[in-house]
Amino acid sequence: MVHSRSALPLVVLSSFVSALWASDAFAHAELVSATPAAKSMAMPAPTELKLKFSEGLELKFTGVKIVGPKQNVIETGPATLDPNDNTMLIVPIKSALPDGKYTVDWHALSTDGHKTKGTYWFESMK
């Protein structure tokens, strides 16, 4: 019977690396879901956006830029966190959205100090 001496360290190393990867991924605020949902058609036009993240957020360094169908930046009110859920960002939209496609560029700082960002789109119809 042949006993391998090299197999064990390799297994230990790979589980260590995957544990590192997992803790890193969990520690970052990634977008979990949004209202209106990414790639969806919102009808009637939304008056606010809700973005649900995987981690608690630092409001001061978290926000969105909404770009409209004519590449215009949509005016938003001050973003807030849901008072009962610091992973939920709420962004009021100041005026009625014309029909069309909207891009949401978001950036977030999680409570552990990591920055993330991303983008998604939705369509709106009155």
Residues at the contact surface with Cu ion, assessed by CB under 5 A: 27-28, 112, 114
Residue 32, sorted as left (phi over 0), alpha (psi -120 to 50) or beta, turns out to be alpha
The nearer residue to Cu ion, 28 or 52, going by C-beta atoms, is 28
Closest separation between CB of residue 34 and Cu ion, Å? 20
The nearer residue to Cu ion, 28 or 107, going by C-beta atoms, is 28
- SS in 3 state form for 40-80? CEECCCCCEEEEEECCCECHHHCEEEEECCCCCECCECCCE
Closest separation between CB of residue 112 and Cu ion, Å? 5
How far apart CA 60 and CA 58 sit, in angstroms, is 6
Closest separation between CB of residue 10 and Cu ion, Å? 28
The nearer residue to Cu ion, 91 or 109, going by C-beta atoms, is 109
Q: Among all residues, whose Cβ is closest to Cu ion?
A: 114
Count of residues for the chain? 126
